[in-house]
Amino acid sequence: MTSKDGSLSSVVETIAGFTAGIATTLCLHPLDLIKTRLQVDPTGDSRVGGSFRVIRQIFRNEGGLVAFYRGLTPNIIGNSSSWALYFLLYGDIKDVIGNWHKRQALDNQLTSSDYFIASGTAGALTSILTNPIWVIKTRMLATGSKSPGAYTSFTTGATQILRSEGIRGFYRGLIPSLFGVSHGALQFMAYEKLKLYRTRVSEKKNKKTRELNNLDFIFTSSISKVFAGSITYPYQVLRSRMQTYNTQYAYQGLWDAVAKIWVTEGVGGFYKGLGPNLFRVLPSTWVTFLVYENTRSYLPKMISRRE
């Protein structure tokens, strides 16, 4: 790969990830808000149907449909920048591993562990760089705009955190976020291997090479997301609890949060918001990967035609 090809690939990955993040957020922000409200609820009630209770409360008490888009700005900033960074780093790390394979005269095809390492490393770096955005986003989604002390905007939230909590306030919930890196690592490991499997099956059946289509991307992204999500969901609850308002008074640290949730809410407490998350996660995954894969496929063709 030439330096020009590498630079073009990085630009394509970044734009594809950025576009996918914006599209996903615009489509599914209300479900993210409902999920966050359920995750930060400290009561022991985790019954099925809690989502409808939250929907009614938001609609009646916070301004109707508009209230479901509270916190949209930090969510768009967070998702677009996170996916752009993630796919950029993920692609570059895969290239580094692939080049190492070549120098060691190994099989050019990356293994499951290679994908896991590339995805995990990209996820960890992305989490560290974007955690301040997610703290503001979580706090805005966790409360209505009329609640006492609620942030009125993204910049107001950043200013208040800096004044009252210092730089450390922007990194609340980072540890469970880093635990959550395992989710992305598992998901992308499964996604990449499923794409390879799907390609091999297609080639064997049709006796020729065929590019994967949108149905293939929906299938592979769905299976990989359910696989990763079923294992790692509790970290999302812990992250939301650690990032919300007054968390320093509610919990003395991550393990204190784990203990209190276990004692007061039981196992169900670690799966609060799972219903809207499952309802949200597959459409979100479809939008993200369809936009990403199609943008990544279309951009190089458009650039080459202009050249």
Q: Residue 163's pLDDT is what?
A: 93
The string of pLDDT tens digits covering residues 162-189 is 999 999 999 988 887 887 788 889 999 9
Place of tokens 């996170």: 82
- Candidates 23, 10, 17; CA nearest to 300 is 10
pLDDT at res. 233? 84
Alpha-carbon dihedral angle through residues 29, 35, 38, 41, given to the nearest 10 degrees: -70
Average pLDDT over residues 57-74: 87
Residue 245, pLDDT score: 66
3-state secondary structure of 122: helix
Architecture field, domain 3-306: Alpha/alpha barrel (1.50)
Digit-coded pLDDT (tens) for 202-238:
777 776 667 888 999 999 999 998 888 777 888 888 8
Q: Is the pLDDT of residue 300 over 80?
A: no
Domain ranges of the chain: 3-306
Residue 272: is it exposed, middle or buried by C-beta count within 10 angstroms (0-12/13-18/19+)? buried
The residue written with tokens 């980072």 in the block is 174
Q: What is the pLDDT of residues 103-156, one digit of tens each?
A: 876 667 888 899 999 999 999 999 999 999 999 988 888 888 778 888 888 899
More confident residue, 217 or 4: 217
CB 225 within 8 A of CB 187: yes
For the cut 60, the answer to whether the pLDDT of residue 55 exceeds it is yes
Q: Is the pLDDT reported for residue 8 higher than 70?
A: no
- pLDDT reading at 192 higher than 60: yes
